[in-house]
């Protein structure tokens, strides 16, 4: 049985308590006097419209008066009125390519995409000049901080790297960025890398390094397989009743390892022995 005080799940249509204010919360005496004295002008200039997925914050003589959330045509005394529309649509930011040094000291070219929306209309309109620009600047700072604390790639399976753990690092960036933009009434939906690569000045050398690492890994696999094959051959011969001494076993293993691990095709040779015959 649920309590009537149980918190409802947060949705994108909900806003903070600061937004739950009628658009008629404050009226300046000066604006009332001007509205009466200049009634024809007041009547003509006090209409304003609110678009779909938008809300309008009203200031009267510089003081917060409320928020109009309903789309359509509305009327409010125009004298001393300041309308500040705030979009409630989901928006995206493209962070330009920036050169950032990762944890290993390698320069990287990194760009990102931030998806967000204005969850608190009052904060977005009053507490910051431009919530989108504010979010962009904060996102660039977070991007630099997160990239600098992780390597581009690593051999440690317990360590996160930028190349292979983009989703986990993206969640980390969302958490950090959300703390920075709470003051602007912004809710971060996602923060992901758009481009992530080595800077041109080290790209060729890092490519050689990757090729060398790939070659070493391939060689290790070949050697492991060759050992299994050679040992299997010796064990198989022993099971078939072929008696081999230690030197013969070593020779078989050596020949098999040479053939399997060689870069070139094997060239079979026949050993011709000579035996001294006495008369």
- Among 87, 105, 121, which residue terminates a domain? 87
List the domain range (segments joined by +) for residue 60.
Answer: 17-87
Query: For residue 45, what pLDDT is reported?
Result: 67
77 and 97 inside one domain: no
260 has a pLDDT exceeding 90 = no
The model carries a pTM of: 0.65
Q: pLDDT tens-digit profile of 86-131? A: 999 999 999 999 999 999 888 999 999 999 999 999 999 999 999 9
Write down the mean pLDDT value for the chain.
79
Report whether 143 contacts 177 (CB < 8 A).
Answer: no
- Among 87, 112, 136, which residue terminates a domain? 87
Query: For residue 163, what pLDDT is reported?
Result: 87
Give the side-chain half-sphere CA count within 13 A for 173.
32
101 and 170 inside one domain: yes
214 and 136 inside one domain: no
140 has a pLDDT exceeding 80 = yes
95 and 193 inside one domain: yes
| CB atoms inside a 10 Å sphere around CB 238 | 12
* Range in 1-10, 31-40, 177-186, 244-253 the model is least confident about: 1-10
Query: For residue 230, what pLDDT is reported?
Result: 78
15 has a pLDDT exceeding 50 = no
182 and 209 inside one domain: no
62 and 154 inside one domain: no
214 has a pLDDT exceeding 80 = no
* Structure token pair of residue 76: 């409010």
Question: Cα separation of 80 and 183, whole Å?
Answer: 27
81 has a pLDDT exceeding 80 = yes
Question: Cα separation of 176 and 179, whole Å?
Answer: 5
Report whether 66 contacts 25 (CB < 8 A).
Answer: yes
């Amino acid at each position: 049985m649920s309590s009537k005080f149980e918190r409802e799940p947060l949705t994108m249509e909900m806003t903070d308590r600061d937004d739950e204010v009628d658009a008629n919360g404050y009226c300046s005496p000066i604006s009332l006097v001007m509205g009466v004295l200049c009634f024809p002008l007041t009547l003509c200039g006090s209409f304003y419209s609110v678009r779909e997925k938008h809300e309008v914050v009203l200031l009267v003589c510089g003081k917060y008066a409320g928020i109009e959330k309903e789309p359509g045509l509305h009327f409010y005394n125009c004298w001393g009125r300041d309308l500040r529309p705030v979009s409630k649509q989901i928006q995206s930011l493209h962070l330009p390519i920036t050169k950032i040094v990762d944890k290993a000291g390698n320069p990287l070219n990194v760009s990102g995409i931030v998806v967000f929306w204005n969850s608190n209309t009052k904060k977005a309109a009053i507490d910051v000049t431009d919530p989108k620009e504010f979010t962009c600047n904060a996102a660039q700072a977070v991007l630099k901080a997160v990239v600098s604390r992780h390597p581009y790639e690593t051999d440690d399976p317990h360590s996160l790297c930028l190349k292979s753990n983009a989703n986990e690092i993206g969640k980390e960036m969302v958490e950090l960025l959300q703390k920075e933009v709470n003051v602007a009434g912004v809710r971060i939906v996602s923060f992901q890398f758009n481009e992530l690569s080595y800077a041109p000045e080290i790209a060729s050398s890092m490519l050689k390094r990757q090729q060398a690492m790939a070659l070493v890994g391939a060689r290790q696999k070949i050697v492991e397989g060759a050992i299994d094959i050679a040992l299997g051959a010796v064990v198989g011969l022993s099971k078939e009743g072929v008696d081999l001494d230690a030197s013969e076993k070593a020779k078989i293993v050596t020949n098999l390892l040479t053939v399997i691990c060689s870069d070139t095709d094997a060239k079979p040779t026949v050993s011709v022995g000579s035996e001294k015959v006495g008369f």
